[in-house]
Chains A and B, each alone.
Chain A
């Protein structure tokens, strides 16, 4: 069994509880244990960086230190949490002054961080630790007939982390193919959903959401798969507002990739948190070939 320290992040506590549930269910199938960090704190999203980056790195480092104490690599399902954890880890490794200063603060919680762990996004775990081949082997209900738009969004891919392809990544498509579904051509798959602009610059953010929904719809997607709670909420919960503002009629279900994968693995929709959507996911079931998923 492979074990990771799991940093759910604030959104997964409630707003994205279905991501949390489906992450645990799907990793379990591959004998991977996501062990939640005890007493983790908020990663700060983007906002600490507007105030004090040293504070940002310190608060993120507290979570890294908690993982290091357990001797485990860290996994974050949220793209913003992942980006913050990834880069804090890198900066601590390359800047001894910063590391010293952060550890001076971490002493207050009897912690220290030495940069001895790795940080992964949840989707990396499926791509690298499980592997697409293994993934395919476990698929009990191939999602035949379903066209899924792979929405990468921003911070999984950007800033560039490890020399990966930031212009034309394919791993999300590969996962979708492994589920037995068809990855939709989705030209806007790397375009930003607006993130926190939905609160701070609403007009801009709603337009950004509209462009994504339109691109998926134009390409015949039945559902958009996401790997980030903020993307999910913007695309799904603000879909009605987009329809109202732009006179559109989108009814595009937005599910976490782990929920769709879970269905393919034969896990019941309820266990995957399906049913708390504001845009119903039921239409996708009728797209599936009969008897494949109940």
Chain B
């Protein structure tokens, strides 16, 4: 994998980010990180990314949903594949015990729940990048 594949992580958990960042960097991706949604959106606007890895619970609340929806409304940004990586079911378990994540309101391509298995993460990332490439060449 070449360094010219550029990924962005938006996640507020420094320890989790450290883990997946090293997995992705070792696999040859160039990885940028934003630790809050505001910085994350700024990064998306300033540089071209091939894939976004997005957390849900950060900042004031479930801001990942807000970011995902905002991206989806932007004609340029909406081309970027989005992989949600979240611990929301764990974080909100007291409120909605055992309930699944509701896909209807999350305009994203794939969803993984924390903690993530390194191989599985790479597989998903790869898959989404392939899909995006196919889409572009069509």
B101 at the interface (CB under 8 A from A): no
Judging by beta carbons under 8 Å apart, are B70 and A97 in contact? yes
- Bound-state Cα–Cα, A53 to B60, Å: 5
Q: Does A51 contact B (CB under 8 A)?
A: yes
A48 to B, closest residue via Cβ: B61
Residues of A within 8 A of B70 (CB): 97
B66 close to A101 (CB less than 8 A): yes
Interface flags, A36-57, vs B, CB<8A=1, else 0: 0000000000000001111110
Verify if B62 is at the interface (C-beta below 8 Å from A): yes
Establish whether residues B61 and A54, one from each chain, have CB atoms under 8 Å apart when the complex forms.
Answer: yes
Number of A positions contacting B (CB below 8 A) = 9
Whether the pair B69, A104 counts as a contact (CB closer than 8 A) is yes
Q: Answer whether residue B1 sits at the interface, using C-beta atoms and an 8 A cutoff.
A: no
In the assembled complex, which residues on chain B have CB atoms less than 8 Å from the CB atom of A55? 61-62
Interface flag for B63 (CB, 8 Å): yes
B95 touches A54 (CB 8 A): no
CB-CB nearest in chain B for A55: B61
Cβ contact within 8 Å between B95 and A51: yes
Nearest A-chain residue to B70, judged by Cβ:
A97
The SS class assigned to the A binding surface is helix
B63 / chain A contacts, CB cutoff of 8 Å: 54
Restricting to B16-68, which residues have a CB under 8 Å from any CB of A? 57, 60-63, 65-66
Closest chain A residue, CB of each to CB of B41 = A97
Q: Which of A44-79 contact B (CB under 8 A)?
A: 51-56
Min C-beta distance of A48 to chain B, whole Å: 9
A52 and B60 form a contact (CB under 8 A): yes
CA distance A56 to B62 in the complex (A): 11
- Chain B residues whose C-beta falls within 8 Å of the C-beta of A104 in the assembled complex: 69
The CA-CA distance from A31 to B65 in the complex, in Å, is 46
B61 / chain A contacts, CB cutoff of 8 Å: 51-56
Q: Are A54 and B69 in contact (CB under 8 A)?
A: no
B-chain residues with CB within 8 Å of residue A101 when the two chains form the complex = 65-66, 69
The answer for the CA separation of A101 and B95 in the assembled complex, in Å, is 21
**Residue in chain B with minimal CB distance to A105:** B105
* Minimum C-beta distance from B55 to chain A (A): 14
Whether B69 pairs with A52 at a CB distance below 8 angstroms is: no
In this complex, which of A51, A52, A56, A104 has the most chain B Cβ atoms within 10 angstroms of its Cβ? A52
Min C-beta distance of A283 to chain B, whole Å: 46
Task: Report the separation of the CA atoms of residues A78 and B60 in the bound assembly, to the nearest whole angstrom.
Answer: 25
Beyond A52-B60, A54-B60, A54-B61, is A97–B95 a contact (Cβ under 8 Å)?
no
Query: Separation in Å of the A38 CB from the closest CB of chain B?
Result: 26
Give chain A nearest CB distance to B47 CB in angstroms.
Answer: 20
- A56 cross-chain contacts in B, Cβ below 8 A: 61
A-facing mask of B70-105, CB < 8 A → 1, else 0? 100000000000000000000010010000000000
B95 (CB) vs chain A CBs: closest residue:
A51
Closest B residue to A54 by beta carbon equals B61
Query: Complex: how many Å from CA A53 to CA B92?
Result: 14
How distant is the Cα of A101 from the Cα of B63 in the complex, in angstroms? Answer: 10
The 9 lowest CB-CB distance pairs between A and B, nearest first, are: A52-B61, A53-B60, A54-B61, A101-B66, A53-B61, A54-B60, A55-B61, A52-B62, A54-B62
Given contacts A51-B95, A54-B61, A97-B66, 9 further A-B contacts (CB under 8 A): A51-B92, A52-B62, A54-B62, A54-B66, A55-B62, A56-B61, A101-B66, A101-B69, A104-B69
User: Which residues of B does A touch, CB under 8 Å?
Assistant: 57, 60-63, 65-66, 69-70, 92, 95
18 interchain pairs (CB within 8 A)? A51-B61, A51-B92, A51-B95, A52-B57, A52-B60, A52-B61, A52-B62, A53-B60, A53-B61, A54-B61, A54-B62, A54-B63, A55-B61, A55-B62, A97-B66, A101-B66, A101-B69, A104-B69
